[in-house]
Amino acid sequence: MIPRQATTVLLQLAKGYPILAITGPRQAGKTTLAQATFPDKRYVSLEDPDERAFADEDPRGFLNRFPDGAILDEAQRCPALFSYLQTRVDAERRMGQFVLTGSQQLGLLSGITQTLAGRVGLVQLLPFSLQELQQGNVPIEGLNDLMWRGMYPPIHDRKLAPEHWFANYVMTYLERDVRQIIAVHTLSLFQRFIKLCAARCGQLLNMASLASDCGVSHGTVRAWLSVLEAGYVVFLLQPHHQNFGKRLVKTPKLYFVDTGLAAFLLGIRDPEHLSIHSARGALFENFVISELLKRRYNQGLASNLYFWRNNTGEEVDVVIEMGEKLMPVEIKSSQTFTPDFLLGLKRWAQFAGDAALPPQLVFGGDENMSRSGVAVHSWRSIQVSN
C-alpha cells in the first residue's frame, strides 16, 4: 500500500471527534485508508444488501454489534443510521468510535450536517498526490505520462491500462451515481455532456454554451454538473472577490479532479498523443491546481484557492488566500522558462500592493530556480505553500 498523507490528520481528528468521515471520489482509496489507519475496527459495507437491510430495519440492533465502534463503508446508503449514531456517541462520549466513508458528497454530508453536526471530523480524500507517489517509490515516466495516467490508486496499485480502467469507471460508477440521484433518460447525452466538460477544462464555465452544444436545457446542465461536483469528478475554481479597483469576472472555472479521466474523455490515446494535443496546457494547469487542492484536503482543510481575472483579460491562474494576504501562482506548461512568464504576476502585484505575498510560478521543466524575485518550481516538486 502507498502511504496516504491524510493518515496524520485522521489520527489527530480521532482524538477530538467521536465520528470520523472520509469522503471523496469512488476508487480514491477511502476504504483502504480507513482500514489501514484503524486496523482494529470491524469493517461493514452498506453496499451489501443484507447489511443494509439490517441497518434499515433495526438500526439499534445493527449498531449494538459494534461495542468498540466500526468502519461503516458507503454510509450514505443508510441515512436512518445517523440519528442512532448521534444517540450512541452522545451517551458514550468516546472519541474515534466510528469511521464513515462515502462517495456521494451530497448524501454523506447532508446526513452529517443535519444529524451529526459537531460530532464529526471530516477528511476529503482525492486520488494520489504526486508527493504520495514519489514517497511510495512509484516510477514516474514523465509529465505527459503522469497526466495521461492520472492518479487514481487502482491504475498505480494494480498496473491497469488507463483506457480500460477509465472506460469501466465511467460506466460502472459515474453513470450509476447519476441514475441514483437524478433521472437521466438518455445516457448518451450525459456521456456527451461529460466529454464537453473535459473539452472546457480550465475555461470559464458557460452553462448556456454547454446546454446548447449538448442539446439539453440549462436546468439539466446545472443538475448534471451538481452531480459531477458531488461525486468529486469536477470542481469549480471560484474567482477571487478582491477587485483592486478593477471590474472582475464573476464566473468560476471548470476543472477535473483527475487529469487522467479528463484525458480519457478527450480521446487522448497515449502520452505521445497528449504531448501534441491542444488541451495539454489546460491539463497541466488542471494538474497543478489539483495538487494544491489535495494538499489542503490532506491536511483536513477546506480549499483556499481562487483565480483572479478582470474584464480586460488580465489574469492570475491561482490566488491562494492566506489570512489577509494573497499569494499569486502562475502556471506554464512549457519545459523552458522565459521571462515573459512573469509579466502577469508583476502586473497583478502592482494592483494588489500590500496584500500581495511573494509570487510563485510552476512550469513544466525539471529544475527549481529563482528569477526576478519569483520562486519558480518544477512540476516535480510543487513547493508552493498553501
The tens digit of pLDDT for each residue in 16-70 reads 999 999 999 989 999 999 999 999 999 999 999 999 999 999 999 999 999 999 9
- Is the pLDDT at 114 greater than 70? The verdict is no
- At 109 the pLDDT is 66
Pairing of strands 325-332, 360-363: parallel
For residue 228, which of 251, 249, 208, 210 has the smallest C-alpha distance? 210
Name the H helices within 80-217: 81-92, 105-115, 130-135, 143-149, 153-157, 162-169, 175-181, 187-199, 207-214
- pLDDT band with cut points at 50, 70 and 90 for residue 160: confident
For residue 106, which of 184, 22, 26, 181 has the smallest C-alpha distance? 181
Under a CB-based contact definition with an 8 Å cutoff, are residues 84 and 60 in contact? yes
- At 383 the pLDDT is 75
- At 171 the pLDDT is 84
Beta-bridge mates of residue 99? 20, 71
Alpha-carbon distance of 202 to 364, in angstroms, equals 17
- Dihedral (CA of 347, 351, 354, 355) sign: negative
Alpha-carbon distance of 234 to 232, in angstroms, equals 6
- Count of residues in the chain: 386
- Is the pLDDT at 80 greater than 90? The verdict is no
Q: How many CB atoms lie within 10 A of CB 140?
A: 13
First-to-last C-alpha distance (Å) of the chain: 27
Mean predicted confidence (pLDDT) in 218-224: 89
- Is the pLDDT at 185 greater than 70? The verdict is no
- At 286 the pLDDT is 98
Q: Give me the percent of the chain exceeding a pLDDT of 70.
A: 93
Q: How many CA atoms lie within 13 A of 17 on its CB side?
A: 23
Which amino acid does the sequence have at 186?
T
Higher pLDDT, 260 or 226: 260
- At 182 the pLDDT is 67
Q: Which of 101-115, 120-134, 209-223 has the highest mean pLDDT?
A: 120-134
Alpha-carbon distance of 22 to 96, in angstroms, equals 13
Q: What is the mean pLDDT of the chain?
A: 90
Q: For residue range 292-319, what is the model confidence (pLDDT) as tens digits? A: 999 999 999 999 999 998 877 789 999 9
- Is the pLDDT at 105 greater than 70? The verdict is no
- At 33 the pLDDT is 97
Q: How many CB atoms lie within 10 A of CB 61?
A: 11
Under a CB-based contact definition with an 8 Å cutoff, are residues 37 and 10 in contact? yes
Alpha-carbon distance of 245 to 231, in angstroms, equals 37
Alpha-carbon distance of 357 to 349, in angstroms, equals 9
Mean predicted confidence (pLDDT) in 185-194: 82
Under a CB-based contact definition with an 8 Å cutoff, are residues 285 and 202 in contact? yes
Q: How far is CA 126 from CA 121, 233, 235, 256, in A?
A: 17, 10, 12, 11
Higher pLDDT, 82 or 9: 9
**Least confident segment among 96-110, 295-309, 360-374:** 96-110
Alpha-carbon distance of 12 to 343, in angstroms, equals 42
- pLDDT band with cut points at 50, 70 and 90 for residue 111: low
- pLDDT band with cut points at 50, 70 and 90 for residue 226: confident
Alpha-carbon distance of 334 to 281, in angstroms, equals 8
- pLDDT band with cut points at 50, 70 and 90 for residue 352: confident
- At 24 the pLDDT is 92
Residue 246 per-residue DSSP state: S
Alpha-carbon distance of 233 to 174, in angstroms, equals 8
Strands (E), the chain: 19-23, 42-45, 70-73, 98-102, 120-124, 234-237, 253-256, 305-309, 315-322, 325-332, 360-363, 369-371, 374-378
- pLDDT band with cut points at 50, 70 and 90 for residue 106: low
- At 110 the pLDDT is 65
